[in-house]
Amino acid sequence: MGVHFVPRGEGLLMRLWAGVSREIALACDRAGRITELCGALPGAAIGLPLWELAIPGQRERLRRAFAAALAQEQQSDWIELALPGAASGPEWFELRIDPVMLGPDHGLGAVCVARSIEQRRRLEREAFAAAMTDPLTGFTNRTAFTAMLAHLADHAVPGCIALVDLDRFRAFNLRHGHAAGDRLLVSFARLLRQVTQPQHILSRVDGETFAVIMPGAGLGEAHASGAAITAALAEV
């Protein structure tokens, strides 16, 4: 199914589209050059090939998608790509390419619709972080700990693991209450951050059990880290 523009109606149609939609709409000729634009894009887009809008690492993918849409003369799937943004960095969009006949004198071209998915991707990142984070201590949780171990093993990354268990924690909980137990765990997590190295990965793998993944560490470094943890606890 195609859209037929009459020569004097192209600009009007694009303006009407912009008036009822928050999406970015672009018209391109057969070579992929942008001839019409409705919506805000950084820089001067008119006359540029469509794929020049994407960040460098994604331009070839967009160019191939445009060529495939015109060759098959059918609507493309939605493509997720990053377009250069303001000072805050690239912004993520999803884009669809629809081949159209641009009137009898213009031949085959395309209309492209791009809509921002930055908020959706931000929510996805936050949901992923929440699923992999222990909400009390801010450490990675058991799920993330297992995944990271599998990743390191798959890539044959050497290293060591230290497991730290707080003795008599359940008795402490029963005597002082869960709120006091939570404060104790938070305090211990803060201490663990102070005595471990920035490259170490800290996880809470059970109620009172913590793990320190030390990628690339030998036994000497691992023993030194463990000694630092027990010495710090002895001073509390």
* Rounded Cα gap, residues 191 and 42, in angstroms: 46
pLDDT at 86: 55
169-184 tens-digit pLDDT: 888 888 899 899 899 9
pLDDT at 43: 57
pLDDT at 214: 92
pLDDT at 103: 63
pLDDT at 2: 42
Sign of CA dihedral 21, 101, 77, 56: negative
Give the residue ranges of the chain where pLDDT is below 70. Answer: 1-22, 40-44, 73-74, 85-88, 102-107, 236
pLDDT at 44: 67
The residue type of 110 is: A
pLDDT at 106: 60
Q: Does the global pTM surpass 0.75?
A: no
* Rounded Cα gap, residues 106 and 115, in angstroms: 27
